[in-house]
Amino acid sequence: MRKVLAVAAAASMLCGSTAAQADQVSGWKAWADHAERVVAAVKTNDNAAVDAACIGTTRTIISQGFQFPYWGQMLPQFCGRFQTENQKREITLRGWMQECKQLRQVKGALAKSQPIATEPRAKPLADEMVATLDALDARECAHPPRR
C-alpha cells in the first residue's frame, strides 16, 4: 500500500512539473509574440500602431500560470514609458524628473534580461527595448523641459 502511494505521489510530482514546464514554454512564447508586435510597432513610429500593439500586455504577463522574472514583467511598463514619452504635451519639472526616473527604472530592469532556453527571442527583444529606451532617455531626459 505504501509503495502504491509513493508511486502515485512521484507520478503526480512528475505530471505537475511537466505541466509547470508547459506553462513556462507557452508563457514565454506568448510574451515573445506580444513583444515582437510591440517592438515592430515602435519601429514604425506610429503612435496608433504602438497603442494597438500594447493592448493586452498586462494580461500576457499575469495569465500564464507562472511568474515571469522581474525583467519579463516590464513589457507593460515599456509600453507605458514609450507612449508617455512620445506624446507632445506640457510637463512640469517635477513631472519630467519622475518620468525620467521611471524610464530609467524600466530600462535598468530590462537590461538585466537573461537568455531563456525555451524562447530564444526573449533576450534579443528585451535588448531591443533597452535600446529604444536609451534613445528616449537621450532625447527626453538629457535636458529639462522648456517653460
- Please tell me the distance from the alpha carbon of residue 66 to that of residue 21, in angstroms, as a whole number: 9
pTM strictly above 0.85: no
**Quick one: pLDDT at residue 110?**
97
- Please tell me the distance from the alpha carbon of residue 97 to that of residue 83, in angstroms, as a whole number: 17
Terminal-residue alpha carbon distance, the chain:
80
What would the pLDDT profile of 125-141 be if each residue is shown by its tens digit?
999 999 999 999 999 89
Is 126 exposed, middle or buried, given 0-12, 13-18 or 19+ CB atoms closer than 10 A?
Answer: buried
Compute CA distances 27 → 14, 32, 68, 85, whole Å.
Answer: 20, 9, 9, 29
More confident residue, 7 or 95: 95
Percent over 90 (pLDDT), the chain: 65
